[in-house]
Structure 1
């Protein structure tokens, strides 16, 4: 009974990829943390929120590429499709919920 660890759809990284991903994750965590903790951006909350949002999205992309090994290769196609479906479902639920709550709030105020 042998175990095949190189089955289709299972991508494995190397130490260099994991190190690059780890360093990028640390940098993308330190940037917004440093901005918030410095207190220099209290008058510029819009900029602070934008930087936090941009680094959060970049952090998710780094995690997906370097640690979950999602890419455009044929082996990862079903994983990418499942991820996109999940993101779309969550977006529809969130946007729909906010729309419904806003609509109900508007109708209750009349």
Structure 2
């Protein structure tokens, strides 16, 4: 085994450092939720999401060995592009769902009954009642 291949897979010390960071970054949000702290729900969610983002970086660096000098920087560039695309997809999905929720007319039980009575022969089962 050459020194280059051993360095690319990391040493036991770096793997244990990554493992310790991953455990700490998992225990903190778990403890915050289980202790039912008095902080606001918004801050709790922000802290959990922030620690989750840090944990993703820890996994990329310590376990997947993502470094800017690997393969001439193309691995890092591909990862940044993937993160940007995922961010665009998530932001676009949230935007569409928010706008649909804000612009949809609320449908109550009374409206559904009026709609089915207004259309002759229409019912909740698709309008096939009484046609044998």
TM-score normalized by the length of structure 2: 0.66
* Matched positions, count: 104
What runs of 5+ residues in structure 2 fail to find an aligned partner?
A: 106-132
> 1:107 & 1:45 partners in 2: Cα distance?
26
What RMSD over aligned residues (CA atoms) do the two structures have, in Å? 2.7
Measured at CA, do residues 105 and 48 of structure 1 come closer, stay the same or move farther in structure 2, by a change above 3 Å? closer
TM-score normalized by the length of structure 1: 0.77
Q: Which has the higher contact order (CA 8 A, sep 6+)?
A: 1
Measured at CA, do residues 85 and 14 of structure 1 come closer, stay the same or move farther in structure 2, by a change above 3 Å? same
| Aligned partners of 2:15 and 2:63 also within 8 Å | yes
Q: Which moved more, 1:84-93 or 1:54-63?
A: 84-93
SS at match of 2:8: coil
Q: Name the larger-Rg structure.
A: 2
